[in-house]
Structure 1
């Protein structure tokens, strides 16, 4: 369905007065599902008819943004730093950073539309005209490394020049003799596996997840008691060998989701991976255990990566100072938004650490990540996790379609994020079943108040 031209103009063009008189009047959300996960989209409305787009981190709650409504309504969204400093204290690591980050992105979108400049320009200009995308790839169900290799080969045929796959203990849950753990524990993991539950729907059955065994997902790696046997390490190494036999050794291949396994086993297995030219191995310990990352990095010659769950650039500093990571992997909807991503990029140059950007959300977050990547001096690539969702690109009007050309995205020159408007009809077809109303009234949050001052 073609968007009405007047609607596009009203959402993007300053039709009333001047940017200095712009005021936030309302915040609304729509809980999109399956792109690839639950993605709470944000609209920030103004007194001049311009609408700014933001998004809460994937698999998160719109509450993280809505609770901030009363703190920013009436403010001029062009004062992005001022608003960010007001709401920064309400953000946190992982999904808890999504409200602050998503609203920061929406402020930039509004400021760009009001002043007529793209986000990358407001961040200081761009270092590149196109951004490399790396493609995460899943293969459902029981499969071999050869199967994964062919799935990755298809990505290469689609033009992607950088690849990532999951590799971890879930591949061995049905393989006898590969894992060592307290009896019964692996059966609980298999039953309550997040990847197994409603994987095709892109959502989680919370009634099941909140059952008596939910705590298995809150135990840190070093405390699970899970070990890999020699047979298990042989199994995973052969899986990687099969993958490389299909895709070759020239293309970068990163590894994610290794599993909650003790760091000693991670070290032993990472040593085996050295011969397979791995771009990085990701999140093999909880990010805040800085000494664990330091120990692993000092023991192996595979680049170690983490960071998608870290809020604010300053919180990456201990990992980089201690040499615990070779690659950081921030998500723009957790780190605090575009300016924090820019700050982190500068820190990476100071400590000699590479940056790749995590992105598993809608075109709103994707375009924000593209602008930020363009404005950061050195970036490996931005993640894309929705290749197999045929309607993903159609969610937003005004962006290139197809967005990807030979594994890259052209950096847009249009104001703000470069999104003209959202495809409301398509979004309505993919609303989360528990939150079916689009852009519902949020007046419940209008009078939310607390003495927010952090000092006396």
Structure 2
């Protein structure tokens, strides 16, 4: 009998009493991953359990740190209660990163406390692994100078991980920069000068690695910066010659990756509805998986018009926070694919709610994921537990250390082009790998998991009614 009891204890975390679990601290680490600035988060508890989370790429740790005093002393197993307590402090895109990162860490703690994977707490799984589609990662500039080179670079990265689907970034501004003396675009002269000088998707070579240099996501916002002007208001127009050049470039990418390979396009350019309609009509013959973020996500009426002008599926959603902000897009069938990011949509449960809502309107869900393997695990649990999930993004094909940033048990996370979630408690990771993280700290940061006591007593009256 004694032997039986000892064996039983091997399957129980005796250091955790879920009903008595309390949050005691929150700390951060800033790392370079997936070509961007990523912010990792830890929630500490009174029982030694540590929850792992991540804030949206290119965001600010302040978005989470300001919430620390509001969650200290709370039981992290009360995930929905804490989420509702702090959700008012989230906004679209990177502004949703703080609430989302905390929510992810809460689920990790709850799973570790009860010794079950997160997807089990979401209702179980619809699949055993998840499709991934490959991005360009840090493809060097010289491999982006024409469609054939860009397509071959993309195919090489797909083959490296045995992925069968891919996404390219191709904005009309990039075509204008390639041909600065040709009339690709017409528009305000100051905007055209900016584009020829520095298109939004322009990459620079890192002399140390030979790959594209990593740049911070947030631009230095200036009043005259066209990249901060919403698409309908730039008055940038594509000429017929510009349409020809764009199509010429894309046709070479399509030939390079193959006609049976699912291929998506992101960042068509800062163009309005009318020119987007013209460009999409030209692209129909290339049988695209989807075209992403053609317009800002909140332009529901414009997406409805756009979707009815083309037979190419439209996708958007990486900057949407909360299910209610995604509903009208899906209900109006303005898009065919909802595309949230777990690190800005409100976290794990909110992403599942988005997928379930979209399914009612015949809309599929794929997920944006340009962060570390921790965010990939969170995305993976959503994908396992959501019926209409199709695929998740992978933007780190050139970061050899990517998977090593977390410690976990089992085989590789990416196997034969599929993402495999470890069958372990919580998100499936035991801890972050501090040694690897220290080797890839974001510029300006010299340490990890530093004290954040300055946020312990930050207070305000958070009630939203009088």
Shorter-chain TM-score above 0.5? yes
Task: Look up the match of 1:185.
Answer: 191
**Alpha-carbon distance in structure 2 between the residues aligned to 1:440 and 1:454:** 32
Task: Look up the match of 2:152.
Answer: 150
Residues 1:127 and 2:126 are matched in the alignment: yes
8 Å contact from structure 1 (residues 34, 201) kept in 2: no
Q: How does 1:328-347 map to 2 (within 5 A)?
A: 328-347=338-357
Residues 1:202 and 2:214 are matched in the alignment: yes
8 Å contact from structure 2 (residues 136, 154) kept in 1: yes
- TM-score scaled by length of structure 2: 0.91
Q: How does 1:399-414 map to 2 (within 5 A)?
A: 402-414=412-424
**Alpha-carbon distance in structure 1 between the residues aligned to 2:57 and 2:397:** 16
Q: 2:319 aligns with which of 301, 309, 331?
A: 309
**Alpha-carbon distance in structure 1 between the residues aligned to 2:423 and 2:304:** 41
Q: Residue 205 of structure 1: CA displacement?
A: 9.2
**Alpha-carbon distance in structure 1 between the residues aligned to 2:335 and 2:223:** 35
Q: Residue 414 of structure 1: CA displacement?
A: 0.1
Q: How does 1:419-434 map to 2 (within 5 A)?
A: 419-434=429-444
Q: Residue 152 of structure 1: CA displacement?
A: 2.6
Task: Look up the match of 1:168.
Answer: 171
Q: Residue 112 of structure 1: CA displacement?
A: 0.5
Q: SS at 1:104's partner residue? A: helix
**Alpha-carbon distance in structure 1 between the residues aligned to 2:254 and 2:436:** 38
Q: Residue 184 of structure 1: CA displacement?
A: 2.9
**Alpha-carbon distance in structure 1 between the residues aligned to 2:217 and 2:323:** 33
Q: Residue 210 of structure 1: CA displacement?
A: 4.3
TM superposition outliers: structure 1 runs of 4+ over 3 Å: 13-17, 189-201, 210-213, 399-402
8 Å contact from structure 2 (residues 327, 358) kept in 1: no
Task: Look up the match of 1:255.
Answer: 265
**Alpha-carbon distance in structure 1 between the residues aligned to 2:269 and 2:409:** 36
Q: SS at 2:150's partner residue? A: helix
Q: Deviations over 1:224-254 (max 9, x none)?
A: 1111111111111111211222222111100
Q: Residue 451 of structure 1: CA displacement?
A: 0.7
**Alpha-carbon distance in structure 1 between the residues aligned to 2:164 and 2:17:** 44
Residues 1:275 and 2:311 are matched in the alignment: no
8 Å contact from structure 2 (residues 171, 201) kept in 1: no
**Alpha-carbon distance in structure 2 between the residues aligned to 1:281 and 1:205:** 21
> Which segments of 5 or more consecutive residues in structure 1 lack a partner in the other structure?
1-12
Task: Look up the match of 1:5.
Answer: none
Task: Look up the match of 2:117.
Answer: 118
Change (3 A) 1:15 1:167: same
Q: SS at 1:236's partner residue? A: helix
Change (3 A) 1:191 1:443: farther
Q: SS at 1:254's partner residue? A: strand
8 Å contact from structure 2 (residues 33, 396) kept in 1: no
Task: Look up the match of 2:73.
Answer: 74
8 Å contact from structure 1 (residues 32, 38) kept in 2: yes
Q: 2:408 aligns with which of 398, 416, 426?
A: 398
Q: SS at 2:425's partner residue? A: coil
- TM-score scaled by length of structure 1: 0.93
Q: Residue 172 of structure 1: CA displacement?
A: 2.3
Task: Look up the match of 2:252.
Answer: 242
**Alpha-carbon distance in structure 2 between the residues aligned to 1:428 and 1:248:** 40
Q: Deviations over 1:359-396 (max 9, x none)?
A: 00011100000011000012110001001111111111
Q: How many residues align?
A: 443
Q: Residue 137 of structure 1: CA displacement?
A: 1.8
Task: Look up the match of 1:10.
Answer: none
Q: Relative to structure 2, which stretch is displaced further, 194-203 or 376-385?
A: 194-203
Q: Residue 309 of structure 1: CA displacement?
A: 0.1
Q: SS at 2:289's partner residue? A: strand
Q: How does 1:15-54 map to 2 (within 5 A)?
A: 16-54=15-53
Q: Residue 14 of structure 1: CA displacement?
A: 4.6
**Alpha-carbon distance in structure 2 between the residues aligned to 1:16 and 1:34:** 33
Residues 1:438 and 2:441 are matched in the alignment: no
**Alpha-carbon distance in structure 1 between the residues aligned to 2:409 and 2:388:** 24
Q: Residue 196 of structure 1: CA displacement?
A: 3.6
Q: Relative to structure 2, which stretch is displaced further, 238-247 or 192-201?
A: 192-201
Q: SS at 1:38's partner residue? A: strand
8 Å contact from structure 1 (residues 34, 203) kept in 2: no
Task: Look up the match of 1:9.
Answer: none
Q: Residue 161 of structure 1: CA displacement?
A: 1.3
Q: SS at 2:444's partner residue? A: coil
**Alpha-carbon distance in structure 2 between the residues aligned to 1:233 and 1:399:** 50
Q: SS at 1:420's partner residue? A: strand
**Alpha-carbon distance in structure 1 between the residues aligned to 2:244 and 2:446:** 47
